[in-house]
Amino acid sequence: MAATAHKHPNYMAIFWYLTILTAIELAVVFMPLGKFTIGVLLCALALGKAGLVAMYFMHLRFETRTLGLVAVTPLAIATLLIFLLLPDGFATTHKTAAPKAAAGAPAKH
């Protein structure tokens, strides 16, 4: 079986794509959106970045389909777990109670 040569990817282009995705992630953090929406957007962007790294830096884009499925299956399971556990992190507001006045101190109005 003859090995087929593949074209080498443009690593600088992938670097710039990853840089742009990172800048978008930083912008999403500071957007006036709900925490759940920000979490979903950050997870989606992280998956995109992980996909780029896996496809080009780990050379999975040029491998057989079965090896790609072996690599994608744990990623799909991890993503499912993240999205299942994400709502639990936002279930409570985690607000601290107002400080109580010391005993015998006059109450402020």
Task: List the domain boundaries for the chain.
Answer: 11-89
**Mean pLDDT taken over the chain:** 77
CA–CA separation, 65 and 54 (whole Å): 14
User: How far from 29 is each of 1, 3, 9, 82, 91, CA to CA, in Å?
Assistant: 50, 45, 31, 18, 19
Q: What is the pTM of this model?
A: 0.55
User: In this predicted model, what pLDDT tens digit does every residue of 46-88 receive, in sequence order?
Assistant: 888 988 887 777 766 666 677 767 767 887 888 888 778 877 7
User: In this predicted model, what pLDDT tens digit does every residue of 21-50 receive, in sequence order?
Assistant: 999 999 999 999 988 889 889 988 988 898
What is the distance between the terminal CA atoms of the chain, rounded to a whole angstrom?
Answer: 86
